[in-house]
A and B are shown apart, each in its own frame.
Chain A
Amino acid sequence: MNALLTVWWKEVRENLRDKRTVLSALVYAPLIGPVLFVVMLNVMVGQQMKHAEGPLKVPVIGAQYAPNLIAALRQQGLVPEPPLSDPDRAVRERDADVVLRIPAAYRNAWTRGEPAQVEVIYDASQQGAGSSVSRVIAMLQHYGREQGTLRLLARGLAPSVGTPLVVSRRDQSTPQSRAGTLLGIVPYFFVLAVYIGGMYLAIDLTAGERERQSLEPLFANPVARWRILAGKLGAICSFSLASLALTAVAFVVASLFLPAEKLGMAFNLGLAFVAGAMLLELPLVAVFAVLETLVSAFAKSYREAQTYLGLLMLIPILPSLLMSLLPVKPAHWMYAVPLLGQQIGISDLLRGGTVRAGDIALALVCGFAFAAVLGVITAWVYRSERLAISA
């Protein structure tokens, strides 16, 4: 049997017997993304639904000055709560999302036909309070417009006099593209699956073997070290490929549990998406296998390698972070950069778009070229005397 295949098969078989590796590569890595995603999205949507449609409880100060206003707000779904003594502190400390205050001067101003002021007290920095605040403001504006129209009619004027401008919104987003912004985290989950899928194997096959002192007898065999390295890399790639495939399947299954109708969005997680995403991720399988092995080759122990690779796991977040912080317009050259290409490509596929064959080819060629360069460096490190000697 070919030495490379011998090493590959031995590493695959040995690691399939290791509970930790199998769990992390074939269960944890592929499932964490989809499960987290479904749970997050459902919780988020549930919250928004509650805020958008349920009765809105708002503490009201000075309700006695504006009984008509309160009655109108009640009709729109607002439930007035007893007043609070310190509304400013209440919104800061999240005891209330929003507080409505009607000053004593309201009644006089109203009866004189002057603009009557009401105060909406809220803290814009509180996440999640925003929808309640805008609902209250919308209710108030609705009441204001209604009353304004009535006043104009009472004076014999056409209500349109008071509306010189009408803004009409034309949102160009499609259900897919709206889902796409929500799904922006999905590319990262794919990358993570590839990374974690091979990680424990990479640690075990280099740092682990070194720690267990089995590299020395292994290297005493009449097989060139680069062949041994290639067999090991093959085993790592096999595991991370399996992890990637399982992730794709898990996302297709997960899409059944996404609250698509509630969001009014379509999730394009079909076969075409899965095939495209896996194709784009292929070079990363090779890049991470080599990179993880290279890092492990510098570690003296399993734990040390684990620490390094744990830190390195932050790198795949960068493109996602970059794209969300700086709204960069995707360009073709970005496909040449490993990770970045995957990020924009998968995001595009999710939005229901298609990635040009040329872009995919660019991502594949550049990704594999990068892996090859790393591979040469790793082979060079693998030749060092120090690598085999643990004690």
Chain B
Amino acid sequence: MIEVKGLHKAFGAVKAVDGATFTAHDGEITGLLGPNGAGKTTTLRMLYTLMQPDAGQVLVDGIDAAVDPLAVRRRLGVLPDARGLYKRLTARENIDYFAHLHGLDGALLRARRTQLADALDMHDILDRRTEGFSQGQRVKTAIARALVHDPRNVILDEPTNGLDVMATRGLRTFIRNLKAEGRCVLFSSHIMQEVALLCDRIVVIAAGRVVADETPDALRGQTGAANLEDAFVKLIGSEEGLAA
């Protein structure tokens, strides 16, 4: 479970995140929806302790990120906006590197890697260097790398960015399976349909603030709009930065 309480972060005069509060529960998919530049990535970066909030608190499974960042990172699987694979290493070596950094080794690592390669259908690319990978292959490798230590909480920053239809569908199934396994999945997107299809709960962010935190149905009801897209536009007050 990931709890965010009154998070603030400013870069100079720009308030990137301005009092964000929400909770992502276990066994649920929580979508962080907002236009480009709304503060999604900055919020997520504070969750996985890459950045320190100016004010507010982040709790992962009840552990305060400010108090014990290493324990928080151990409980998180993170796919950052920047995938950042090592091009001169194979997919397998990329995965193993992060596994070793988590202290994972031997038979456990092999079992976990095989399990992820099955789920992501990536056995054919495991022993290729990641240089020249397609966008979809890159995301698969980065996700496998991020989840190799079997984390309870999964943070995915714009996971479907740049993927084609088939790859997106495959990824959707994978994310639903994560939920079925009882994990807490938090993912950000600026794509409406993505969020509508997957999420149990939608947290809408605009200008660094949470403007709605509801189920998709409740969101439609709350705004009185027939479809989610209209609801979303009403919430954030403009159509800027939206992609259907």
Contact = CB atoms under 8 A, between A and B. Distances in A.
Contacts of B6: none
Given A385-B50, A385-B51, A389-B50, A215 B84 contact: yes
Interface in A1-20: 1, 3, 6-7, 10, 13-15, 17-18
Nearest to B47: A220
B204 to A, nearest CB: 23
B82 A6 contact: no
Interface stretch (A221-229, A267-275, A307-315): A221-229
Contacts of A13: 89, 93
B71 to A, nearest CB: 7
B84 A213 contact: yes
Contact of B80 (A6, A220, A224): A220
B234 to A, nearest CB: 30
B50 A220 contact: yes
Contacts of A18: 88
B105 A213 contact: no
Contacts of B123: none
A388 B41 CA distance: 13
Interface in A189-230: 209, 212-224
B64 to A, nearest CB: 15
Interface of A: 1, 3, 6-7, 10, 13-15, 17-18, 209, 212-224, 385, 388-391
B82 A217 contact: yes
A230 B140 CA distance: 30
Contact of A391 (B51, B71, B81, B102): B81
Q: Which 7 A-B pairs have the closest CB atoms?
A: A214-B84, A213-B82, A222-B73, A222-B74, A6-B100, A220-B78, A221-B101
Most chain B CB inside 10 Å of its own CB: which residue of A6, A213, A216, A222: A222
A68 B215 CA distance: 117
A219 B50 contact: yes
A143 to B, nearest CB: 73
A217 B88 contact: no
Contacts of B80: 213, 216-217, 220
A233 B83 CA distance: 24
A223 B98 CA distance: 10
Interface string B217-240: 000000000000000000000000
Interface string B66-86: 000011011010111111111
Interface string B92-124: 010001101111010000000000000000000
B81 A218 contact: no
A7 to B, nearest CB: 8
A222 B97 contact: no
A14 B70 CA distance: 26
B87 interface: yes
Given A217-B78, A385-B51, A390-B82, A222 B102 contact: yes
Contacts of B102: 221-222
B83 A213 contact: yes
A14 B85 CA distance: 12
30 contacts: A6-B101, A13-B93, A14-B88, A15-B88, A17-B88, A18-B88, A213-B82, A213-B84, A214-B86, A215-B84, A216-B45, A216-B50, A216-B81, A216-B84, A217-B78, A217-B79, A217-B82, A217-B83, A217-B84, A217-B145, A218-B84, A220-B49, A220-B73, A221-B98, A221-B102, A222-B101, A224-B70, A385-B51, A389-B45, A391-B82
A390 B145 CA distance: 20
Given A17-B89, A18-B88, A217-B145, 19 more contacts: A1-B100, A3-B100, A212-B87, A213-B80, A213-B82, A214-B82, A214-B84, A216-B50, A216-B84, A217-B82, A217-B98, A219-B50, A220-B49, A220-B50, A221-B101, A222-B70, A223-B101, A385-B52, A390-B82
B48 interface: yes
A216 B42 CA distance: 12
Contacts of B48: 220
Given A217-B78, A221-B73, A388 B50 contact: yes
B29 interface: no
A6 B73 contact: no
Contacts of B84: 209, 212-218
A379 B101 CA distance: 19
Contacts of A217: 78-80, 82-84, 98, 142, 145-146
Nearest to A213: B82
Nearest to A221: B101
A130 B52 CA distance: 69
Contacts of B73: 220-222
A104 to B, nearest CB: 80
B40 to A, nearest CB: 14
Nearest to B80: A216
A346 to B, nearest CB: 36
Contacts of B79: 217
Contacts of B51: 385
Contacts of A222: 70-71, 73-74, 101-102
Nearest to B145: A217
Contacts of B89: 10, 13-14, 17
A6 to B, nearest CB: 4
A18 B89 CA distance: 11
Contact of A216 (B71, B82, B87): B82
Contacts of A3: 100-101, 103
B215 to A, nearest CB: 29
A13 B90 CA distance: 12
Contacts of A209: 84
A146 to B, nearest CB: 76
Interface string B28-70: 0000000000000000010011111000000000000000001
